[in-house]
Amino acid sequence: MRYQAADSSLYIKNRKKLVDKLSAQALAVFHSNDIMPTNADGTMRFRQNNDLFYLTGIDQEESILVLCPNFPKKEMREMLFIRKTDEHIAIWEGHKYTKEEAFAASGIEQVLWLDEFEGIFAQLMALSNEVYLNTNEHLRAAVNVETRDARFIQHCKKRFPLHTYRRVAPLMHEIRSIKEPEEITQLQVACDITEQGFRRILQFVKPGVREYEIEAEYQHEFVRSGSRGFAYEPIIASGANACVLHYISNDQVCKDGDLLLFDVGAEYGNYNADMSRTIPVNGKFTKRQRAIYDAVLRVQRAACDLLKPGVTIQDYHVEVGKIMESELLSLGLLDKGDIASQDPKSPAYRKYFMHGTSHHLGLDVHDVGTMYDPVQPGMVFTVEPGIYVREEGIGVRLENNILIRENGFTDLMANIPIEAEEIEDLMNGY
């Protein structure tokens, strides 16, 4: 394992939080993700199901967690089923968890081989009334592939049609949105690795390099620091490419006089950083670029101060929009006539700032957690305003990750350069 795993006490706490929300005579089941195919006999790299990982710390395929907290036999109240390994698997695929290792990672005493699951599951179902099963209910999810969870739901309903089936996703969204200290530690490492990558490319970028060369520099620094690589497809967008919000081609030449927008983050231990920075390709902002950059930075800092316990993300976005409107007026991108004639449902500022300012961050880059209930201490959010002036070929986005406290916030990216002067100094070797 290339990352330092959290102690099993984290996963014991996480399971207790879920169990406390389950109804009496309930049973909950969580499956690992599938290993997805590519072509021929190829497969994608395995990525664990985040709910299973959150509850167990187990980072291996073909794993099942079963929670049945009121079952008469104590040893059957929480069980972990893992793939049985042998010499053949060890030779062809490498080491897999032993039962002892799975217990050490998860804190689950009852670790069994996967081939025992069906028989034991039938025993549990006989004394359970309600069954909590998992689905991907993220508001932005587009699920086009049948998952292991989906197949299991069909299997359960066919074999046990008279049970009451419940959604566990809302409960997981609620508990996962509040981060434990051990999770903050993993997120901080991901942010620190991201910082190392950014500082590396500040020494590398110059007119004439291609965007994918910069991507390679980030990847090199991330992997050598214990990350599996990018937390998501990186955006390395120079010039007008920065005005394409999800630009991932990363194949153009960076030109003298252009800005270069990064939206990148390192993964560490399945937790994710999410950083945006914008730098001048030649190491010096023009007057116009600097004016837009400073405007975005002011909005970002004001937004961080607004994001506090008790506010809702919906109201917060309205307030950030008002601040952005003021900055766009000062830049001459909007005038009072634009404001007077705007449609309240589509404010004028959205011509130049068309995306949201913040989202939850954690095991998922767009982490689970409601966007309608009030913000609470322990939540982690991105703060990422931007201004995109397509007619000038200028796009600026600045994004940090913050932990919400009872009073104020902690910026997990406080050490990553963001002031224009510091970026220019670092790029020019001062």
Does residue 183 carry a catalytic annotation? Answer: no
Does residue 355 carry a catalytic annotation? Answer: yes
Does residue 335 carry a catalytic annotation? Answer: no
The single residue listed with the structure tokens 């079952």 is 71
Please tell me whether residue 429 adopts helix, strand or coil conformation: coil
Does residue 305 carry a catalytic annotation? Answer: no
Instruction: Output the DSSP codes for 102-126.
Output: HHHHH--SEEEEGGGHHHHHHHHHH
Does residue 199 carry a catalytic annotation? Answer: no
Catalytic residue among 359, 360, 364, 367: 359
Q: Which of 100, 70, 78 is nearest to 12 (CA)?
A: 78
Tokens of 314: 């919906």
Does residue 317 carry a catalytic annotation? Answer: no
Using CA of residue 349, residue 350, residue 354, residue 357, what is the dihedral sign? positive
Q: Report the alpha-carbon distance of residue 152 to residue 167 in Å, rounded.
A: 13
Catalytic residue among 59, 263, 327, 424: 263
Tokens of 100: 């002892």
The C-alpha angle 380, 382, 383, rounded to 5 degrees, equals 130
Paired sense of beta strands 130-133 and 164-167, if any: parallel
Does residue 397 carry a catalytic annotation? Answer: yes
Q: Report the alpha-carbon distance of residue 141 to residue 139 in Å, rounded.
A: 6
Burial class from Cβ neighbours inside 10 Å (0-12, 13-18, 19+) for residue 293 reads buried
Catalytic residue among 274, 325, 364, 424: 274
Does residue 430 carry a catalytic annotation? Answer: no
Catalytic residue among 78, 217, 384, 424: 384
Paired sense of beta strands 110-113 and 78-82, if any: parallel
Catalytic residue among 54, 97, 388, 424: 388
Does residue 359 carry a catalytic annotation? Answer: yes
Q: How far is CA 331 from CA 175, 296, 323, 354, in A?
A: 42, 11, 13, 17
Catalytic residue among 41, 87, 100, 406: 41
Catalytic residue among 87, 246, 372, 406: 246
Catalytic residue among 149, 215, 399, 424: 399
H runs (alpha helix) in 257-309 = 287-306
Does residue 258 carry a catalytic annotation? Answer: no
Catalytic residue among 355, 373, 390, 419: 355
Does residue 360 carry a catalytic annotation? Answer: no
Please tell me whether residue 23 adopts helix, strand or coil conformation: coil
Active site residue ranges: 41, 246, 263, 274, 355, 359, 366, 384, 388, 397, 399
